[in-house]
Amino acid sequence: MPRSHSRKTRTPGHVGASVLVPKVTPKRFYGQGIPGVDSDSLTGKLIVVEGADGSGRSTQIARLVQWLEATGHHTIQVGLKRSTLVSEELEQAQQGNILSRTTLSLFYATDFADQLENTILPALRAGSMVIADRYIYTLMVRDLVRGVDETWIRNLYGIALAPDAVFYLEVRPDLLVQRVFAKNQSLDYWESGMDLGLSRDMFDSFLRYQALMRDTFRRLQQTYGFDIIDAERTPDEINHELQRRIEAVLSGRD
């Protein structure tokens, strides 16, 4: 198995920049995975950034991509509802609020499976870094707070590849609400959990729903072991911590 080492690249007139070649570590699927995929061929790294709406995922990912590319790592980005196969239909289904809980879950799972098979796995096979703006955990947590059976959900996402690192950006709900308002001047029906009937007041519903989501994330953390990041700090402080942790992943120390 290749070992991590620094490759010195020299161009005339420049002092050599050091590129950390990621150490290849074994990958695994959570369950049965996707048939016919040889996980040993996946030499890239899958890094997931999780967190509520307004927790700062886009802010952090933009900086991480810039940093990774500048340090010589080809990087691609994926996220929920971005598959070409079903993203439009999923959006329409959400707007109309017409699908049952199970059908909506399967719709999201289809979107995920399409991206896994057609974007994430090929990129990892090519040795690229894949940065995911949310992954199966958000989907699982959304379903769990709506009473979907946990075993059923775990089986459904048995197709997923276990990432090399998962960072959950944690921000308390009252701070989240401020960030979301500052960015969008409004709250989103689904991200406020209005379908759950927690409160008729959207602001109140948002606070309750996001607290439920956070508690469920913390519970899943015990099974999936992701890193909980204090995302109430400045963007610079958070980014510094993420870079440090990703460096550890690249060098196989994590």
Ligand X SMILES: Nc1ncnc2c1ncn2[C@@H]1O[C@H](COP(=O)(O)OP(=O)(O)OP(=O)(O)O)[C@@H](O)[C@H]1O
C-beta of 81 vs 233, nearer to Mg ion: 81
d(CA 228, CA 170): 7
Among 32, 100, 185, 234, binds ligand X (CB under 6 A): 234
Residue with smaller CB distance to Mg ion, 37 or 141? 141
User: Rule CB under 6 A: is residue 192 a binding residue for ligand X?
Assistant: no
In the bound complex, which residue of the shown chain has the CB atom lying closest to Mg ion?
58
238/242 with CB nearer ligand X: 238
Among 22, 33, 44, 54, binds ligand X (CB under 6 A): 54
Contact between 56 and ligand X by CB under 6 A: the answer reads: yes
What the block records as the tokens of 211 is 């607290």
- Verify binding: residue 58, ligand X, rule CB under 6 A: yes
Question: With respect to Mg ion, which residue has the nearer C-beta, 154 or 179?
Answer: 179
Which residue's structure tokens are 């010589």? Answer: 72
Binding ligand X (rule: CB under 6 A), the pick from 27, 44, 48, 57 is 57
The answer to whether residue 43 forms part of the interface with Mg ion (CB under 5 A) is no
Cα–Cα distance measured from residue 115 to residue 29, given in angstroms and rounded to the nearest whole number: 15
Amino acid at 97: N
238 binds ligand X (CB under 6 A): yes
Is residue 55 close enough to count as binding ligand X by CB under 6 A? yes
Supply the DSSP symbol for 15.
P
Nearest distance, CB of residue 105 and ligand X, angstroms: 20
Which region among 67-75, 116-124, 176-184, 206-214 touches ligand X (by CB under 6 A)? 176-184
Residues 170-189 that bind Mg ion (CB under 5 A): none
Using the contact rule CB under 6 A, the part of the chain among 55-63, 119-127, 154-162, 208-216 near ligand X is 55-63
The residue within the footprint of Mg ion, chosen from 4, 58, 94, 110 (CB under 5 A), is 58
Site for ligand X in 11-40 (CB under 6 A): none
Q: Taking Cα atoms as reference points, which of 24, 6, 76, 67 lies closest to residue 242?
A: 67
Cβ atoms < 10 Å from Cβ of 17: 14
Among 82, 146, 172, 179, which residue sits at the site for ligand X (rule: CB under 6 A)?
A: 179
Task: Record the tokens describing residue 237, joined without a space.
Answer: 């402080």
| Torsion sign over Cα 169, 218, 146, 156 | positive
- Interhelix angle 202-224/173-184, nearest 10 degrees: 120
- Tell the smallest beta-carbon distance from residue 252 to Mg ion (Å): 30
Task: Give least dist CB 86 to Mg ion, A.
Answer: 20
CB-based contacts of 187: which residues, under 8 Å, 6+ apart? 177, 180, 181, 202, 203, 206
Rounded Cα distance, 56 and 232, in Å: 9
Q: How far apart are CA 87 and CA 80, in angstroms?
A: 9
Cβ-proximal residues to 19 (8 Å cutoff; 6+ apart), any chain: 6, 7, 9, 71, 72
Positions that interact with Mg ion (CB under 5 A): 58
